[in-house]
Amino acid sequence: MQVRRIRREKKKPNPRILKRMVRRLGVVFAGITVLFVVLIGRLMYIEHTSGSKYEKIVLSQLEYDSSTIPYKRGDIVDSKGTVLATSVDVYNVILDAKLLNGDEANREYTIENVARSFAEVEEEDVKKALDERPDAQYIVLAKKVSYEEMSAFQELADETVKVTDASGKEVAHKITGIWFEKEYDRVYPYGKLAASLLGFVSAGNNGVLGLENQFNDTLNGINGRSYGYLNTDNNLEKTVVEPENGKTIVTTIDTNIQSIVEKEIRMWNKAFASDGSLGSHNTACLVMDPSSGRILAMANYPTFDLDDPWNLEHIYSQQQLDEMDPEQELDALNHLWQNFCVSSTYEPGSTAKPFTVATGLETGTLRGDETYFCDGYEEISGYKIHCVNRNGHGMETVEGALMDSCNDALMQMSYVIGGDNFAEYQEIFGFGQKTNIDLPGEARTDTLIFNKDNMSTINLATNSFGQNFNTTMVQLASAFASLVNGGKLYQPYVVDRIQDEAGNIIYDREPVIEKLTISKETGDQMKGYLRSVVKEGTGSIAGVRGYDLGGKTGTAQKVPRSEGNYLVSFIGYAPQDNPKVLIYTIIDTPNTPDQPHSSYAQTITHNILIQILPYLNIETIKEPEDSNTIADRLPYVKQ
């Protein structure tokens, strides 16, 4: 039988299919390559941006021991580097009960020495902690002991003491089971100085009031951490992430000027205090550079101790404190803590008159050569609005009206100026607007002034001499500075720069001109009038012999309009031609039966100026021998 062999031919692959497969493999390979590149890039990015974060997570999972390394809150210093607020090292005394209980030979020796070294630690308390929590490794025995106490104890702990017991055997003793936890305590080297401006710090490094509050995030840093863990070889590995300390705030405040200002307002209040009452409800003083808006000093009375801000004993008697309920006590604290210069509103009185005159001169409704007859009052809508001199000043010029602080003449000027012009220039001078000073709690005054729509004749008349509208000290001082510096309304500020602990400048403040208020010509005319107020008018008490000053007095009758409810003030500047310092002093409700005298505020101002003008190297002038300008220190005496 014949068998045929069938030969099968081998089928050749299709070249088109092969090419397609190669292309697909290439695409897959390229895709995988791209994914690997993206993955590697992502890992590199995570390592760069969040490496420490994930390192902490890993370390926490392998944790053997970890502890926080606290940051140091930044300092607050004055313009010359004097430290006003800082943080110092303090230490918590920690007991490791488990360790000490396991070292019977050194237990009594350690207890005796820790109790002897730290005043707040009692032997019985240590023994009780050891017995009640025998396995605890973290028991706080004392808080915030000083560096000196800690280091003295540490020296003792580093020593091994050999003693002979009752049997004559020599025994070695060493302190064990005690360690220290570092913290920082906020301190204020000058106590009460600039208290409401600086503010203080509560638990958790939270700033309360002032710069401590306004720049809380800047002053605070970031805690570090120390991690200890066992690696796969059972060896202890340690990683330390150093803390990032807070930034330093460099202020515009001059400690010397601030100290002088606070001393003088304190002395005045001491002289006027009686029968358990303060010398005034509030006394405040602000000193600034009118050509930049820099605040050189800002002070209030009554005030408080920054190292003990909740203590009222230095202001109130024990009997008064015993009679206070919790709400009254809180009100008293808020009164002490407030920054009157920024947070309180009031009717300014006659210190507003220069703005009325400047408005008239700038709008052309006044020339400066007008005259007005003062008969002691103006009658508007059936109301008699009196001048400070109820018998009348007689004929007054524009300059004379400011020198004599004549309400009647100012009201007559306001009729010519008109409500629209007056309201417009109040806005130009910044009244009714926040100055945006770099301090918390600036009061709003936008609802406390009149505008073009509600500026009636009687409102215009009373506003012209500083009644019936409200302002703040920092607002009026900034506006007044524009009258004497050529018309520049500067934004006031107290922080000059911010720097890190290495001294590198993070932020550097430049003066900011908010707007132009008046022309230089109007400003020069106004300075001439204000100079006459101090030389020959109501502001003569504030003058200092040898210095060319200008300024304006103020006596405002508060609401309710009654006797014994006045706010008296003085605002001035020096020198006349190129003002370098502006001072504004207010006494709110002097503790005296005869209140309406700006001389109280002038006396404080005078006693400040005779000290700070030489210190600031303000140029002097030669005055005639018969000059009435006061040279010496004035006593603080009730009228």
Q: Which of 522, 560, 514, 555 lies closest to 538, judged by CA?
A: 555
Q: Are 484 and 291 in contact (CB under 8 A)?
A: no
The letter for the amino acid at 212 is E
In a domain, 256, yes or no: no
Which pLDDT does position 599 carry in this prediction? 95
As a whole number of angstroms, the distance between CA 395 and CA 372 comes to 6
β-bridge partners, 224: 69
Which pLDDT does position 277 carry in this prediction? 87
Which pLDDT does position 6 carry in this prediction? 44
Q: Which of 264, 269, 297 lies closest to 282, judged by CA?
A: 269
As a whole number of angstroms, the distance between CA 43 and CA 322 comes to 66
Give DSSP secondary structure letters for 59-119.
HHHTEEEEEEEPPPPPPEE-TT--EEEEEEEEEEEEE-HHHHHT-HHHHHHHHHHHHHH-T
**Residue that terminates a domain, selected from 219, 251, 283:** 251
Which pLDDT does position 2 carry in this prediction? 47
DSSP SS3 for 227: strand
What pTM does this model have?
0.85
Both 405 and 537 in one domain: the answer is yes
Which residues does the chain have with pLDDT short of 50? 1-7, 60, 62-63
In a domain, 21, yes or no: no
Which pLDDT does position 58 carry in this prediction? 56
Give the contacts of 635 (CB within 8 A, at least 6 positions apart).
Answer: none
Tally of domains in the chain: 2
As a whole number of angstroms, the distance between CA 240 and CA 226 comes to 4
CA-only gyration radius of the chain, Å: 37
Give the contacts of 463 (CB within 8 A, at least 6 positions apart).
Answer: 352, 356, 414, 422, 426, 449, 450, 455, 469
Q: Which domain holds residue 435?
A: 346-615
As a whole number of angstroms, the distance between CA 436 and CA 63 comes to 49
Which pLDDT does position 61 carry in this prediction? 52
CATH of the domain at 231: 3.90.1310.10
In a domain, 622, yes or no: no
As a whole number of angstroms, the distance between CA 34 and CA 190 comes to 65
Residue 605's φ and ψ, nearest 5 degrees, are: -60, -45
- Give the burial class of 565: count Cβ atoms within 10 A of its Cβ; 0-12 exposed, 13-18 middle, 19 or more buried: middle
In a domain, 373, yes or no: yes
The 3-state secondary structure of 263-330, one letter per residue: HHHHHHHHHHCECCECCEEEEEEEEECCCCCEEEEEEEECCCCCCCCCCCCCCCCHHHHHHCCHHHHH
Which pLDDT does position 561 carry in this prediction? 85
Strands 377-380 and 383-386: antiparallel
Q: Are 586 and 347 in contact (CB under 8 A)?
A: no
The beta strands (E) that lie in 475-597 are given as 488-490, 495-499, 505-508, 513-516, 550-557, 566-574, 581-590
Q: Are 540 and 534 in contact (CB under 8 A)?
A: yes
As a whole number of angstroms, the distance between CA 584 and CA 369 comes to 29
As a whole number of angstroms, the distance between CA 125 and CA 104 comes to 18
Residue 580's φ and ψ, nearest 5 degrees, are: -115, -15
> In Å, how far from its chain's centre is CA 379?
46
In a domain, 639, yes or no: no
Q: Are 465 and 356 in contact (CB under 8 A)?
A: yes
The letter for the amino acid at 372 is Y
As a whole number of angstroms, the distance between CA 17 and CA 336 comes to 91
β-bridge partners, 95: 139, 178
Q: Are 466 and 353 in contact (CB under 8 A)?
A: yes
Both 426 and 559 in one domain: the answer is yes
Give the contacts of 190 (CB within 8 A, at least 6 positions apart).
Answer: 84, 255, 259
**Per-residue model confidence as pLDDT tens digits over 430-489:** 999 999 999 999 999 999 999 999 999 999 999 999 999 999 999 999 999 999 999 999
**Residue that terminates a domain, selected from 206, 234, 251:** 251
Q: Which of 468, 243, 452, 241 lies closest to 349, judged by CA?
A: 468
Both 88 and 209 in one domain: the answer is yes
Give the whole-number percent of the chain exceeding pLDDT 70. 91
DSSP label at residue 166: T
In a domain, 485, yes or no: yes
In a domain, 389, yes or no: yes
In a domain, 314, yes or no: no
DSSP element (H, E) containing 373: strand 371-374
Q: Which of 551, 548, 542 lies closest to 634, judged by CA?
A: 542
The beta strands (E) that lie in 543-611 are given as 550-557, 566-574, 581-590
The letter for the amino acid at 427 is E
**Residue that terminates a domain, selected from 251, 281, 304:** 251
Tokens of 330: 């809180």
CATH of the domain at 444: 3.40.710.10
Give the contacts of 160 (CB within 8 A, at least 6 positions apart).
Answer: 172, 173, 174
Tokens of 116: 């002897």
Which pLDDT does position 423 carry in this prediction? 97
Tokens of 220: 């605070």
As a whole number of angstroms, the distance between CA 393 and CA 400 comes to 10
